[in-house]
Structures are given as C-alpha cells and as structure tokens.
Amino acid sequence: MQSSLNVAVVPGFKAPVYPGYSGVGRFPAGNSQLSAYHFSQLSPSKLTASGLAPYDTVILYGIRWNTISVSGQAALNTFATTHKVMIWDADGTGPQDYSTFIQPFSTLASNASGTPQNSRVTFPTFENGFVNFLASSNPSSPYYLDPAELVGDPSMINDMNAMQPKTAPNNWRPALIAQNAKISAPAWPIAWSYGVVGSHTGMTIYSGLDADAIGNTQLSPNDEISELVLELKAPFSTTPDPSCAPSCQPPPPLPQPPPQPPKCKWAKSVPTHWVHGRASIWLTCSPAAGVVVAVRSTSGKTLASGTETNGRIRLRINTRLLPTNRVSQVAVACSKGAQFVSMFFRLKVDNTPPRLLYLRTGSTRSGRHALFRVSEKVQMRIVGGGPRFRHWTWVAGRKLVHATLPGRVRHARLILRDRAGNQRIRKLVW
C-alpha cells in the first residue's frame, strides 16, 4: 500500500474556462499543507503510457472528461488499474458523463448559483466498522471536515457537482452525501472506488466540492484543502490483494438511508435595518431536541452559536466580526448528529460612529450658537439646549448645521446617532 507522492495535474494548475461558465480557482500547488507532495502540470496531449510513467497519481482538475482524447482516456483507465486517479470537479465544468471511465458514472451540476437555501450534508457510516477515510464530522478524527463550513460557504456544497448514485455501479461508495437547492435528491459530492475491484488495486476518487473556495485563505482550516490532503493520503495498492484476488468484493455495503436533517425556520424576521454591536436572530427547528446552530461569515468566522431552549434558538451575532458599512452574507448551519442543513440571510452592518468634521461654538446677543458638520446623515439632539432640540432631528451629511440655543445655556451635550444606532457625543461649552 502507498499514498500519493508524485502528482500530475491535468490540464495544469489553471483549469480551462468553458463557454457560459466562470472557471475554477487555481490549483493550490504552493499551499503549505501540500508540501509533502510534488505536483507537475501535465497537458492532456501527454496522457500516454510514457507520459504518465513518472507519476503515481493523476488529478483531473476542472477539466471535462469528454475533452480528453479517446487514447488519453484509455491511458488514464490503464493507469487507474494500479495507480490513483482523482477527479476534481467544479461548477465551472457543468454536468458530465464518465461512461467511458474505468468505473463509470455521471454527475449533476449546481452551477454558480450564489447562495441557495437549505444545503444539506450527511456523513455516511458503514457496516463492519469500515472507516470513512475521506470525510468525518468528528472534530477529533484525522478525517475531519468542518460540516458548518461545507454547508455555510457560498461554494462547496452550495455550488457542488455530485455523482448521481443511480448511475454509479455497485463499485462506488459515497464518502459524503449532500443536497442543495439545485440538486434536491441525495447525491455524492465525494465518492471512491478501487481501480480494479476484483484485485483491490489502484484507486479512483471523485470530488465535486466546488473548487472556487480552494484558494480562500480566510478559511482556516479550508475544507477543500483538507479534503485534497485526505485524498492524496488515501493508500492504494499496485499489486493484487493475495487474500481475495481475483475475486475481491467491492467496498463495504452502502449505508442505510440516513435520518433527515432538522428543518429550521425563522421564528422572527431577521433584521433588515442597519445594525451594530450584537444583533439577535431567532429560529425554531423540528425536531427541536438536540439541534445545535452556528452562524458563520463567508470567511469562516463563527459569529454566534446556540442550542434549543423552550422550542426556540436565540443567536446573538457579534457584528464586529463582519466588515462595517457593508451588507454581509451570513450562513446559519443547523445540525443534529451527523446531519447538517444551511440557511442564508444578509446583514447590514455599521459599527462606525459618525464623525464630526467641524464643530464651533459662539455667543451673540441672539443666544448661544453651535455650528457643526457630520460625515454622514444622522439624527441629532442637544441635551440641555432647551425644548427646541429635545427631540431627534435628521440632518444631512457634510452639510453645515447652525443651531441657536437660549442665552442662559452654558453647558450642553450634542448627541449624534447614525442609521445603525452608533452615537457620537460632544460636550458644548459657552
């Protein structure tokens, strides 16, 4: 048994861009987590016995199978009988037909759909204690993938391509089962098989996690890099298994259909106004008991988490972890056991108090005067400035405002409040 070491990336580190699609992220050959492997770019025209001889692994990266020549496909199939072939699919390839691959199958494609709701993921378990070596929801497992990131990231499961189970013969086994708004029936975004089942030699792996997130350095860890490492580490044999060849059996039987993920919905409307500091959202989930919820930013930061109490889940989001003066997309990942489902909403965040660009006070026979200019549109009031300025009044941004107060006023407070409730207070003295 051996793992990957010398890896050919076909057609290269930069995948082709097909008409009507936006392309695929660049292959992360220089990522520090991949330093144990040697990657080379290999043109499809070099898919021959001699061209593949220096390598133990081939990664088909963002390339359509039907664009590879018949002779190139044949060379890859021969290579897979004793070596490893990893197919890294993405929304930039669309649905594909691998009927001429050594282990045939076809795929469904979500395409770049933005942020579909209710993406779901399940980590299958197998009979006889067989370990799923490509995906686990257990944080202490060496095969761990962060489920909340999988369903919460705008790419990955949300924009996945996935193997159609009904087109995959009994030789394939899922490592991950998922659904999203475009792929409504359970499909396999990660799956594997032997190159030759009868001898247990070689290995074939399919990954349809949308590779658009593969270069996202804000994700720590990045599930796509983690999965790539797991696939490269996966051991394969170049010689037949003496205990069963030539009549070895396929991988362990498929798992039983998993229980359905919880169904969650908003218990109250999510905030549509500008917010600052902590913002609360409320959910109800069914079944309620045992549901855990995490709120994530698109960069992978955890903004809030919570569990069910009296039928509801309250989440207090720390908006300071999001960009200020921006509308941010936020993912809510609900989990129960090994089942996970996502929801999305947009949050308008402003944690920047208004700035005083100009302030001057003075006195005349007509009374006390305050002149000021603010960086943005705000509400203002002057405490201690008499009844005229007791209530909130809107003033335009960058416009010089002239407030006249009674002559008896010697001290007052100017309070400025912006759209999100941030305040700026300045003491006025005459």
* Strand ordering across the sheet containing 263-266: 263-266, 278-286, 313-318
pLDDT band at 33 (very low <50, low <70, confident <90, very high): very high
The answer as to whether 229 is a domain residue is: yes
Residue 302 lies inside a defined structural domain of this protein:
yes
Question: What six digits make up the tokens of 126?
Answer: 């197998």
The more confident residue out of 342 and 223 is 223
**337 and 369, same structural domain?**
no
Task: Give the CATH number for residue 302.
Answer: 2.60.40.10
* pLDDT for 254 beyond 90: no
- pLDDT, the chain, mean: 91
Residues 207 and 63 in one domain: yes
Q: Which residue has the tokens 């081939």?
A: 58
The answer to whether residues 102 and 154 belong to one domain is yes
Based on the domain organization, do 168 and 202 belong to the same domain? yes
Give the model's pLDDT for residue 277: 95
Q: Is there a single domain that holds both residue 304 and residue 369?
A: no
Domain annotation covers residue 252: no
Give the end of a domain, one of 334, 349, 364: 349
pLDDT, position 182: 86
257 within a domain of the structure (yes/no): no
Residues 412 and 337 grouped into a single domain: no
Residues 321 and 182 in one domain: no
Domain co-membership, 83 together with 148: yes
Give the E-state strand segments of 194-298 in sequence order: 203-207, 263-266, 278-286, 292-297
The answer to whether residues 317 and 279 touch, using CB atoms and an 8 Å cutoff, is yes
Alpha-carbon dihedral angle through residues 199, 2, 122, 22, given to the nearest 10 degrees: -110
The total number of structural domains in the chain stands at 3
The yes-or-no verdict on residue 12 having pLDDT over 90 is: yes
Count the helix, strand and coil residues of the chain and give each as a percent rounded to the nearest 5.
15, 35, 50
* Domain span holding position 330: 263-349
- Residue 139 pLDDT greater than 60, yes or no: yes
- Residue that is last in its domain, among 332, 349, 366: 349
User: Cα separation of 41 and 31, whole Å?
Assistant: 16
Predicted model pTM = 0.79
Looking at the fold, whether 223 and 368 belong to one and the same domain comes out as: no
**In this structure, is residue 251 part of a structural domain?**
no
Instruction: Kindly indicate the confidence band of residue 181, based on its pLDDT and cuts at 50, 70 and 90.
Output: confident
pLDDT band of 290, cuts 50, 70, 90: confident
Rounded-to-integer distance, Cα 377 and Cα 363, Å: 26
| Shared-domain flag, residues 344 and 382 | no
Q: CATH number, domain at 55?
A: 3.40.50
Query: What pLDDT score does 103 carry?
Result: 95
Lowest-confidence segment of 114-123, 216-225, 373-382, 408-417 by average pLDDT: 114-123
Q: Could you tell me which residue, 201 or 250, shows the higher pLDDT?
A: 201
Predicted confidence at residue 256, as pLDDT, reads 65
Local confidence band at 258 (pLDDT 50, 70, 90 cut-offs): low
Question: What number of residues does the chain have?
Answer: 430
User: In terms of domains, do 220 and 368 share one?
Assistant: no
The pLDDT value recorded for residue 113 is 58
Of 233, 255, 272, at which residue does a domain stop?
233
Residue 107 lies in a domain: yes
Residue 282 covered by a domain: yes
Q: What is the CATH number of the domain that holds 371?
A: 2.60.40
What span, in angstroms and rounded, lies between the C-alpha atoms of 61 and 9? Answer: 6
214 with 333, same domain: the answer is no
- The answer to whether 186 and 339 have CB atoms below 8 angstroms apart is no
Q: Which whole number is the average pLDDT over 349-353? A: 97
| pLDDT for residue 114 is more than 60 | no
Q: What is the mean pLDDT of residues 419-430?
A: 96
- Is 313 contained in some domain? yes
Residue 102 has pLDDT above 60, yes or no: yes
Q: Per residue in 367-407, pLDDT tens?
A: 999 999 999 999 999 999 888 999 999 999 999 999 999 99
